[in-house]
Amino acid sequence: MVTSHTSTAARARASTGRVSGFAASILLILEGQWIWYRLNWRSTVISSVLLPVLFLVALGMGMGALIEPSEATAGMDYLAYLAPAMLVVGAVQNGAGEATYPVLSGFKWQKNFWAVTATPITPAQLACGKLVWIALRLTFSGVAFLLVAALMGAVSGLGVLLALPFSVLTGMAFAAPVVALAAAMKGEGDGFNALFRFVVMPQMLFAGTFYPISNLPELLQPIAWITPLWHGSELARGAAFGTLTLLPTVGHLTYLGGLLAIGTVLSCRLFRKQLVV
């Protein structure tokens, strides 16, 4: 009795004001997310796996019937041409989904971010933990998507395994700045609608997912260069078809890595600004 009392007291003393280690905090946040996810994963299957698969079936198979393999499809069957890019599109869309309302909700509706930062976990650790969680989610969905795509015969070879980390990187390069945006968001998240309508959706349509960007009018092509999705689908296609060359690969990776780094730093700052009163 006495010992347990002292140990509780000791723990309470130890926890006040002590900053938890970085890796330990991230693990704690992941554990919290996982507990929630274990109960709620079903509803995420539809949006994160089924919808990209449906796009692949409808456009890859249906449109594929209208399109002969040509230079524009890298000599591939249209279904095989579309699959790596659809993997990246799925990552970007899921990344955007996880980075918007769930983050705003932590600040605004559920307010669980305040609860978390009332513990030894710091706002910056919370932001990083959230980002690592999003990366994990993108990995799960990517694996599930690839399994289905392989069953459909849309996968051209083992190179697609390298496309998976590329797609997660692309999703994170987009999600990290959006997490920062969500942390700075005022109001009820109406701005997210505009983000999805004017950034996420056009990115899918105009950044070389369904056809090479050289098909676009020349004025529109530079817009594709700034989208993470274009860099990601170039990398994923290169990996899947075995056509990666050194210099472009380094260029794409630098751009995506840079976006991720900027997004992470901004997220940590804005979480601190919001949560430290």
Partner 1 sequence: MTVEQTRTERETDPQPSRWASGLRIFPPGLYAGRASRLVERSLLAGKGAWLAILSGFFEPVFYLISFGFAFGGMVGQISGPGGAPIEYAAFIAPGLLAVSAMNGAVYDATFNIFFKLRYAKLYDAVLATPMGPLDVAIAEIAWAVLRGGVYAAGFLSVMFGMGLITSPWALLALPVALLISFAFAAVGMAATTFIRSTQDFDFVQLAILPMALFSTTFFPLEVYPRVAQFLVQCLPLFHGVELMRALATGVVSWGLIGHVGYFVVMAGIGVIVATRRLEKLLLT
Identity of the residue, 202 or 248, whose beta carbon is nearer to partner 1 in the bound complex = 202
Of residues 79, 92, 46, 55, the one with CA closest to residue 201: 92
CB of 40 to partner 1, least distance (A): 7
CB of 89 to partner 1, least distance (A): 13
Q: Beta strands of 101-193 (E only): which ranges?
A: none
Identity of the residue, 119 or 193, whose beta carbon is nearer to partner 1 in the bound complex = 193
Torsion of CA 185, 190, 191, 196, to 10 degrees: 130
Q: Residue 244's CB: how many other CB atoms inside 10 A?
A: 17
Identity of the residue, 63 or 143, whose beta carbon is nearer to partner 1 in the bound complex = 63
Tokens of 75: 């000599």
**Rounded to the nearest 5 degrees, what angle is found at the Cα of 57, between the Cα atoms of 55 and 63?**
90
Identity of the residue, 51 or 132, whose beta carbon is nearer to partner 1 in the bound complex = 51
In the chain the first and final C-alpha atoms are separated, in Å, by: 39
CB of 154 to partner 1, least distance (A): 16
CB of 183 to partner 1, least distance (A): 22
| Residues in touch with partner 1 (CB under 8 A) | 40, 43, 46-47, 50-51, 54-55, 58-59, 62-63, 65-67, 70, 72-73, 190, 193-194, 197-198, 201-202, 205-206, 210-211, 215-217
Distance of CA 111 to the CA centre of its chain: 23
